[in-house]
Every structure is written in C-alpha cells, then in structure tokens.
Chains A and B, each alone.
Chain A
Amino acid sequence: MISLDIEGLTCIRGQRVLFRELSFSLAAGRALALQGPNGAGKTSLLRLIAGLLSPAAGSIRLRTNGAAVEDGEERGKYIGWLGHLDAVKPQLCVREQFAFFARLYGGVGNLDEAMETFGLTALAELPGQYLSAGQKRRVALARLQLCARPLWLLDEPLAALDTAGKALAAKTISAHCAAGGTVVAATHETLGIACETLNLGPGR
C-alpha cells in the first residue's frame, strides 16, 4: 500500500520552466494518467518522483502503510520503472535479461510465469537484438511485473504494442492497482482502465 503526495512542485529544465506549483495526491490502489503535449514535462515529472531528478522547488512524499518514506535515494527502492527506453541488451537473450534484473532486484516473482503471461516463452533464448520494438516493450512490462515494486512509473507504456499487447498492459496495470499498488503513467493514448487524469499542458 503506497500513496504519493506532491506539493508545490516546480520543474526547471535547461532554464525553461516546465511546470510550477504542481500539487496532487494519489491514494494507494489508484492509477493516474499524465497527459499533455510533447515537452510538457511528463517524463521529467516521472524522473522527479523516482528521485532521479531534483525539483527546483516543492516536495514529493511517499507513504507506505502510513509511514513516510525517507527522501532521496531511499525512495528509489519503492519505484517500478518503465522508461521510454526498454533497457534490453542486444547481446543477452530474453531469459538472461529477466534473470539479471530479477536477481538484482532481489529475486521476486516467477520468471517462467511472467514470460508466459507476456507471450515471450517462445523467445526465451533469442538475443535482444532480434526483438521487435513491440516485443521489447513486452519484455520491459514483464520485467516491471517481475520486479514487484509498489509504485509504478510508466513512460508511454503502450508505445509500440499491438492490440493484444495493449490489452495485456491494461490488465497488468489494473491488477497491480487491485493488489494495492499505485501507478503513474505518462501517455498520449487512453490506458483502457479506470484512472484519474492530470493534464500538464498549458492552461493547467
């Protein structure tokens, strides 16, 4: 059970203010879709929440089961990250990609089951360089589920996925929420699940 509180957050990138005085909170078990035109600061907001960027002003608070999570790199231990890059190594086969991150993150979840769910079983021994963009996205989604972190930050989770893949992603996200997890997703498409929305664009 993890909740997120953002207060008076201001983000400046390259001397340009992307957004200022942004405040919202997200309860445990909820999903939030971040919307806005290109360059509105969706990815920057996700990086701020993950602690990879420092805010110019304002605060980001995580609470897990009511207890506040310490700021800084401690926050990273609660984050499930799906960036716009898939982090798939061309030289490693699909199974090795999973095994590495699952073990790095402390070995949670069943590897074979996750590959089966995302239709990757047949590709298990295939090196990453032969995967299509959509298949790489499936690898990234399956890895996200395998790493079992409570707060998911997703950057365009549906990019490059086919119709079945999109349905699968929506199912994964809603299952995560149903289990008490929290999701923030930057997206231009509709996620296909019940969620709150936040528009970062002009006129916010």
Chain B
Amino acid sequence: MTPFLVLLSRDIRLAVRAGGGAALALAFFACVVTLVPLGVGADLKLLARIAGGVLWVAAVLAALLSLDRLFQADYEDGSLDLIALSPLSLETTALAKIAAHWFATGLPLTVLSALLAVLFDLSTTGTAALVVSLLIGTPAVSAIGGVGAALTLSIRRGGLILPLIVLPLLAPAVIFGSGAVLAAEDGLANGAFLFLAAFSLLSVALSPFAAAASVRLNLAT
C-alpha cells in the first residue's frame, strides 16, 4: 500500500468507529430531511419542487458536522506532527484526508438521498438527477470543507467558525445541484451538471494546496 492509501484507509476507519462522526452526519441528514415534509405539510407538488434544495442544504450541513475534526483530532494528540514528518507531503496528506471524508460522509449521504427522495414525491428522473448531482457535488463539499478544517485546526471550538468560512464558498454547489434536480423534474435540458462538475473539479484540484498551506501555518505557531 502506498502511504496515501495507508492514510486514507486509516482516516476512513477512524471516521466510521465510535466518535468518528460519519454515522452522526448520516443520522443528522436523515432527521433534518424527514422533518421538512412534516413542517411543510402534505402538498406533494410543493414538496417535489423544494426537494432538491432541501436535500442539498441538508447534505452540506451534515457534511460540515464531521469536518471540523478532519485535522484537529490529529493536531490535538500530536499525530499531525508525525504525519507532517512522514514521506507524505502535506498536500497529499490533505488530499487523503479530503478523500477519506468523502468516502465516509459524502458517498453514504448520496446513497441515502435516493431513499429520502421518496418523502418528497420526487419522480424517478428527479431522483436520478439528485443522486448524480450529489455524487458530482459532494467532493467539492469535502474539498472546500477541508480547507476550512485546516484553517481552524488550532482554534478551540473551531467547529463553530468553520461553517462561516465554508458555507458561502459552497453556494455554487447548492445552486447548481438543486438547479439540476429542478430542471430534471421539469423535463428541461440544462447545463447545471456541467457547471457543478467544473466547480467540483476545480475545488478538488486546488483545495489540497490551500489546506496544506494552512496546516503548515498552524504547525508553525
């Protein structure tokens, strides 16, 4: 196994074990999404129209729940020093951690969303668009969230500042993601998927460098 895969598999293992936060994020996602139809009422037309937006916003918030510990846990117990001195560069380290977060949170959220779409009376095409949009878009959530996590790793209760940094940056993902679902519901052709994919690719490509720079800065203070 390459050092990249070693770190990736270790972080996934830590995320799914007790206290890792992956299951917590999933449960939170399910709870929030279930509450919305209860609050809005049984207007099926309305529910189908808001489904994309609600599921996307809930997915972003749920992913944020487990993000703050991405670097902080390793920083607090001294593991981050040892990882920084390993043959793995900090950029690769950041990419491995972002990927681990996506496998432990983004991917399960995507799968679960197909099930929760039933609560919103979403059509088959709409559900397919939702799943595809989350599949394309959640890597951007993990990547940009990873930068936020790296920036706040040494801050006590950094988890409270993290959403303030990350949420505005994730607006494009929510706009294009929910837009894609709505367009599919209306049977319209649109470029939302392409914009979402472009946003996601850009985020995943650039975030490891930004996250590594933040980790370097935090380790030196």
Q: Which positions in A face B, CB cutoff 8 Å?
A: 50, 52-54, 73, 76-77, 79, 81, 83-92, 96, 100-101, 103-106
Whether A52 touches B219, Cβ cut-off 8 Å, given contacts A100-B10, A101-B82, is yes
A residues within 8 A CB of B6?
100, 103-104
* B20 A91 Cβ-Cβ under 8 A: yes
A residues within 8 A CB of B82?
81, 83, 87, 101
Give the docked Cα–Cα distance between A79 and B220 (Å).
17
CB distance from A142 to the nearest CB of B (A): 13
Give the docked Cα–Cα distance between A77 and B85 (Å).
6
Q: Mark B18-62, 1 if CB is under 8 A from A, else 0.
A: 111000000000000000000000000000000000000000000
* A85 B78 Cβ-Cβ under 8 A: yes
A residues within 8 A CB of B87?
77, 104-106
Q: Mark B130-174, 1 if CB is under 8 A from A, else 0.
A: 000000000000000000000000000000000000000000000
Give the docked Cα–Cα distance between A76 and B123 (Å).
55
14 other contacts beyond A73-B90, A89-B79, with CB at 8 A cut-off?
A52-B81, A52-B84, A52-B85, A54-B220, A73-B89, A77-B85, A83-B82, A84-B78, A85-B81, A86-B77, A89-B14, A104-B88, A105-B86, A105-B87
Give the docked Cα–Cα distance between A85 and B75 (Å).
10
Whether A104 touches B86, Cβ cut-off 8 Å, given contacts A53-B220, A89-B14, is yes
Give the docked Cα–Cα distance between A89 and B13 (Å).
11
Q: Is B7 an interface residue (CB 8 A)?
A: yes
Give the docked Cα–Cα distance between A87 and B82 (Å).
8
Give the docked Cα–Cα distance between A105 and B168 (Å).
38
* B85 A50 Cβ-Cβ under 8 A: yes
Residue contacts A-B, CB under 8 angstroms, 15 given: A50-B85, A54-B220, A76-B86, A85-B76, A87-B81, A89-B79, A91-B18, A91-B19, A100-B6, A103-B3, A103-B6, A104-B3, A104-B7, A105-B86, A106-B87
* B220 A52 Cβ-Cβ under 8 A: yes
Interface size on B, residues (CB 8 A): 27
B residues within 8 A CB of A85?
76-78, 81
Query: How many A-B pairs with Cβ below 8 Å?
Result: 67
Which of B20, B85, B89 contacts A81 (CB under 8 A)? B85
Q: Which positions in B face A, CB cutoff 8 Å?
A: 1, 3, 6-7, 10, 13-14, 17-20, 76-79, 81-90, 219-220
* For the complex of A and B, 3 pairs with smallest distance between CB atoms: A85-B78, A87-B78, A87-B79
Give the docked Cα–Cα distance between A57 and B119 (Å).
63
* B14 A91 Cβ-Cβ under 8 A: yes
Which of B17, B81, B83 contacts A91 (CB under 8 A)? B17
A residues within 8 A CB of B86?
76, 101, 104-105
CB distance from A55 to the nearest CB of B (A): 11
* B77 A104 Cβ-Cβ under 8 A: no
Which of A73, A83, A90, A103 contacts B81 (CB under 8 A)? A83
A residues within 8 A CB of B14?
89, 91-92
Residue of A nearest to B93 (CB): A104
Residue of B nearest to A100 (CB): B10
CB distance from B12 to the nearest CB of A (A): 12
B residues within 8 A CB of A52?
81, 84-85, 219-220
B residues within 8 A CB of A81?
81-82, 85
Residue of A nearest to B6 (CB): A103
A residues within 8 A CB of B3?
103-104, 106
B residues within 8 A CB of A77?
85, 87
CB distance from A155 to the nearest CB of B (A): 10
B residues within 8 A CB of A73?
89-90
Whether A76 touches B78, Cβ cut-off 8 Å, given contacts A92-B14, A100-B10, A103-B6, is no
Residue of B nearest to A83 (CB): B78
CB distance from A69 to the nearest CB of B (A): 13
Give the docked Cα–Cα distance between A91 and B81 (Å).
19
* A103 B1 Cβ-Cβ under 8 A: yes
B residues within 8 A CB of A54?
220
